[in-house]
Chain A
């Protein structure tokens, strides 16, 4: 664990970048982004979320040399539930539930 002072500095940094991004277009008049920049920014959330789940989902499969790991199967359950139009919150709860069940079985 890093020491408290550097964590405090990190929090100040996080506040600065978050606040800055939220504030700039509202306060500075006539900010114009190119259509490409807008399209790029639009894709960032999906890219970030997908990139973040890759290792937690796939690592256990690699470690166990066996594709039938609870993380991978439960992630697929979440994905399928979401795609079939189940509400986001229900998706998360059912995904967690399937993870618990699978982790007990496998």
Chain B
């Protein structure tokens, strides 16, 4: 990370954006792929655009798009979005103390833009010290860069997905599997996550015929419950260390 002297909120904003660059670049292909998957799954483009602009949560958007494509009841898609995004509770919780001084209105806007990437960037910089006067500007520097990039990439993907021919023959469905495995692997540094993944995988397979994707929710809850048994979490370090393990994952 660069050591620019932060002398003004403007500089703090710029530094927030600069620090986020590697993660923004890493998120770009996922944004493009997300946009391209909508037409590939016969989902109207406005839904993909609305997901990116309003929900702004990469992995949850992928999951919702996938569920929508197979005709899952909409209420279950909302429920799954909730479960997938529960980890943001951890991020928000971890940031709450450092932003206690901020006015409530600003905190509400900040919360809208809270992604894995911005969380990782901001908490790293906070560990290196960042004065209260510049924290909010720094946060928004990171958040705006992430947000703008995600919108542009979604549109690009949408364009590519609807104008390229035979896109369904490119095996883009498998891209989602590859992306999910790519996001999962860095989490496997922790034994408890390995257990959660194995149980989740196996249960999801055996409950695949349950109606309305209920087997999926069941599998996730059971896997996470078993893996959170204290005996499997002996080596667990501080909260931020664990959440940083998912660095590089999509918002």
Contact check, B177 vs A57: say whether CB atoms are below 8 A apart.
Answer: yes
CA distance A45 to B250 in the complex (A): 11
Q: Chain B, 24-38, contact with A by CB distance < 8 Å: what is the 0/1 string?
A: 001001000000000
Give B131-185 interface residues, CB cut-off 8 Å to A.
Answer: 170-171, 173-185
CA distance A46 to B230 in the complex (A): 17
B85: Cβ under 8 A from any A Cβ: yes
Q: Which of B83, B95, B197, B233 contacts A46 (CB 8 A)?
A: B197
Known: A17-B82, A52-B216. A11 touches B179 (CB 8 A): no
Q: Could you count the A-B residue pairs with CB atoms below 8 Å apart for me: how many are there?
A: 268
CA distance A88 to B184 in the complex (A): 9
Q: Chain A, 24-65, contact with B by CB distance < 8 Å: what is the 0/1 string?
A: 111101010100101111111111111111111111000000
Q: Which residue of B lies closest to A20 (CB)?
A: B82
By a CB distance below 8 angstroms, the chain A residues around B123 are none
B126: Cβ under 8 A from any A Cβ: no
By a CB distance below 8 angstroms, the chain A residues around B114 are 22, 26
Contact check, B192 vs A11: say whether CB atoms are below 8 A apart.
Answer: no
Q: Which residue of B lies closest to A99 (CB)?
A: B174
CA distance A58 to B110 in the complex (A): 40
Q: Which residue of B lies closest to A83 (CB)?
A: B185
CA distance A14 to B48 in the complex (A): 13
Q: Which residue of A lies closest to B82 (CB)?
A: A17
Contact check, A74 vs B83: say whether CB atoms are below 8 A apart.
Answer: no
Q: Which of A11, A52, A58, A91 contacts B178 (CB 8 A)?
A: A91
Contact check, B198 vs A75: say whether CB atoms are below 8 A apart.
Answer: no
Known: A11-B50, A21-B92, A46-B196. A26 touches B179 (CB 8 A): no
By a CB distance below 8 angstroms, the chain A residues around B29 are 89, 92
CA distance A18 to B227 in the complex (A): 24
CA distance A47 to B246 in the complex (A): 13
Give A52-98 interface residues, CB cut-off 8 Å to B.
Answer: 52-59, 70-71, 74-75, 78-79, 82-83, 88-89, 91-92, 95-96
Most interface-central of A23, A58, A71 (chain B CB within 10 A): A23
Least Cβ–Cβ distance between A59 and chain B, in angstroms: 8
B51: Cβ under 8 A from any A Cβ: yes
Q: Which residue of A lies closest to B78 (CB)?
A: A13
Contact check, B188 vs A46: say whether CB atoms are below 8 A apart.
Answer: yes
Contact check, A47 vs B223: say whether CB atoms are below 8 A apart.
Answer: yes
Known: A41-B87, A55-B205. A27 touches B243 (CB 8 A): no
By a CB distance below 8 angstroms, the chain B residues around A78 are 177-178, 181-182, 185
Q: Chain B, 76-96, contact with A by CB distance < 8 Å: what is the 0/1 string?
A: 011001111111111111011
Contact check, A51 vs B82: say whether CB atoms are below 8 A apart.
Answer: no
By a CB distance below 8 angstroms, the chain B residues around A58 are 205
Give 9 new A-B contacts, CB below 8 A, not counting A13-B75, A23-B107. Answer: A10-B78, A22-B89, A23-B108, A27-B111, A33-B89, A41-B89, A42-B242, A46-B184, A100-B170
Query: Can you sample 23 A-B contacts with CB below 8 Å?
Result: A11-B54, A14-B51, A15-B55, A21-B82, A26-B114, A27-B111, A40-B224, A41-B87, A45-B187, A48-B59, A49-B184, A50-B197, A51-B200, A51-B201, A52-B180, A52-B204, A54-B202, A78-B177, A78-B178, A78-B182, A92-B179, A95-B174, A99-B171
